[in-house]
Structure formats: C-alpha cells, structure tokens
Structure 1
C-alpha cells in the first residue's frame, strides 16, 4: 500500500503540491494498487480538494 507520507519523506526536495502530482502518478504506474492519504501535503499551494486531486492522479485520471 502506497502512503502519501512515504512519498513526502522520500521526496523532501519538492516544494509544491503541483510537483507532488507527477510523483503520485509515477508511483501508481509501478503497479501500486492502493493509496492511503495519511497526511495532508504541507505545501502553501495545497488546494482544498487535495484528496480528490491526489486520488485522480493515482487513478490515472490526470495526464
């Protein structure tokens, strides 16, 4: 199971929510089937609908 906190810890160099989306997509493409959003992204540009956007990125709905 992919956890958002694991992505954030492994990629501490990213500085925005928009940089996070491609990372979530990349990990999903490796065959990960489940995604748990266990923390809120700590970026100033994190939108109110961040959970929906990350789920869409993980599910492949964003390109």
Structure 2
C-alpha cells in the first residue's frame, strides 16, 4: 500500500493545523511534538504517517488517522 499525495501535509496545511504562520514557529512546534518533518523550498512538510508515529499510532495497532480529520 503506497502513499498518496493526500498523505502529505504542506506548509500551508501545517500553518492551519498549528495556528502559526511563521515558518520557524511551525517547525519548532513539529519538533516539540516529536513529528519528523522535512524542509522544502516552500516550507516544512510532513506526512500523516509521521504524525501517526509521533502519536504512538503504528504497527500492530489498527487505529489510524487520515487526512480527513483536518
């Protein structure tokens, strides 16, 4: 089962989710929450799977959050 493009959260998505607008604030919040992120040309981005891992949702558990929770 591969990732679809809807599994990627863009900088704009992360701004909306965190409530922060500045790139540094968004990045700091992700790091504080233990969410692995990548720094792209247009800002940080991450995936739903990386958020699930940070939240303790992973292999061996059936609970999974999808992009529709946003």
TM bucket by the smaller chain? Answer: under 0.3
Q: TM-score, normalised by structure 1?
A: 0.24
Instruction: Provide the TM-score with structure 2 as the length reference.
Output: 0.23
Higher-strand-fraction structure: 2
